């Protein structure tokens, strides 16, 4: 199985409105709810690709109960979330049907107590015993140490489990020093980490900081990967408009599934880009459209890039 970690899980709520006008009242035409947070989005996409997945992290309160009820409906996803006293956060995506643009509102998450953190660590270490790979994803809720991803990466590597790290800011910087197998920042996160806005230079810099490989999401320009075996950039055949919520998480699922299937890097990147674009085209946050994915997969172009400056 593949293990995903979502320390700051969420109940994702998507509202669709005919057109979004600030400072006015709107009539919502459609509401959907999904288990959310980066790692849970990754788990759901992995399951859709046929991979058995275990999802851990934290869940609590009424929103946590609603999240777990929805998660129970997902085939191939096992709920191993650790209960907390606080309420799981909500994220609200407001989709403007006229333009396809999305406005996102993210709550901070519940405060995690030392006892709850200790319970999670025990669960995590136990789950590593059956994992083929682990994805450490997303922001940190209040009360969780900032070096948490470095600790979890070291524990996974000690157990012989490959690690994909997808976070930002100080947790990313510290996590890289623990040498994850793959880091997956987006372009803004990579620039904030390295101070460089040139993606290839920044990805090389991030890899020197400890990651064995770096795959940077470049939005409509696809994904750039710098690895020990080479560097490649994969791009979709055209730009897509729609709801970008969860597109990066679908890319993580593509990269992680390619890792456990031992696919060559160009094939991993093709899958990640096609899944990401198919998620943008889906009307619901965190879902991908299978027809769009299958149509796009052979159209993704992969170009080799220099590995050194």
Q: Is 96 a catalytic residue?
A: no
Quick one: which H or E segment has residue 82?
Answer: strand 77-83
Contact 175, 192 (CB under 8 A): no
Radius of gyration of the chain (CA): 18
Query: CA dist 287 to 12, 100, 158, 220, 291, Å?
Result: 11, 16, 33, 18, 12
User: Angle at which helices 148-158 and 169-177 pack, to 10 degrees?
Assistant: 30
- Tokens at residue 63, please? 């929103």
Query: CA dist 17 to 95, 243, 287, Å?
Result: 6, 13, 19
Contact 170, 157 (CB under 8 A): no
CA dihedral over 215, 218, 219, 222, signed as positive or negative: negative
What does 164-209 look like in DSSP terms, one character per residue?
EEE--HHHHHHHHHT--SEE--BHHHHHHHHS--SHHHHHHHHHHT
Q: What is the number of residues in the chain? A: 309
Burial class (CB in 10 A: 0-12, 13-18, 19+), 265: buried
- Tokens at residue 136, please? 């450490």
Matching residue, tokens 């101070």: 195
Query: Out of 12, 166, 181, 249, which one is annotated catalytic?
Result: 249
Q: Quote the CA–CA distance of 101 and 19 in Å, as a whole number.
A: 10
Quick one: which H or E segment has residue 226?
Answer: strand 223-226
Contact 296, 237 (CB under 8 A): yes
Give the active site residues: 249
């Amino acid at each position: 199985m593949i293990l995903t970690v979502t320390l700051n899980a969420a109940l994702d709520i998507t509202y669709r409105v005919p057109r979004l006008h600030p400072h006015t009242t709107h009539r919502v035409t459609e509401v959907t709810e999904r288990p959310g947070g980066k790692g849970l989005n990754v788990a759901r996409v992995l399951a859709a690709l046929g991979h058995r997945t275990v999802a851990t992290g934290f869940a609590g309160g009424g929103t946590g109960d609603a999240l777990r009820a929805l998660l129970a409906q997902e085939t191939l996803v096992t709920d191993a979330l650790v209960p907390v006293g606080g309420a799981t956060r909500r994220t609200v995506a407001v989709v403007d049907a006229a333009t396809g643009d999305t406005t996102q509102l993210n709550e901070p998450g519940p405060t995690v107590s030392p006892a709850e953190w200790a319970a999670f660590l025990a669960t995590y270490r136990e789950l590593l015993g059956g994992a083929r790979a682990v994805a450490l994803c997303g922001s940190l809720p209040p009360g969780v140490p900032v070096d948490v991803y470095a600790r979890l990466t070291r524990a996974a590597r000690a157990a012989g489990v490959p690690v994909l790290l997808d976070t930002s800011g100080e947790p990313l910087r510290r996590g890289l020093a623990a040498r994850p197998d793959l880091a997956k920042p987006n372009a803004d996160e990579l620039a904030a980490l390295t101070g460089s806005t040139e993606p290839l230079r920044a990805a090389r810099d991030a890899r020197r900081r400890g990651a064995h490989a770096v795959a940077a999401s470049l939005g409509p320009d696809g994904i750039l990967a710098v690895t020990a075996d080479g560097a490649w950039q994969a791009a979709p055949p055209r730009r897509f408009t729609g709801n970008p919520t969860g597109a990066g998480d679908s890319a993580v699922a593509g990269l992680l599934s390619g890792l456990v299937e031992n696919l060559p890097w160009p094939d991993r990147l093709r899958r990640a880009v096609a899944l990401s674009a198919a998620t943008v085209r889906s009307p619901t946050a965190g879902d991908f459209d299978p027809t769009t994915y299958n149509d796009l997969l052979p159209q993704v172009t992969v170009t080799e890039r220099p590995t050194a400056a």
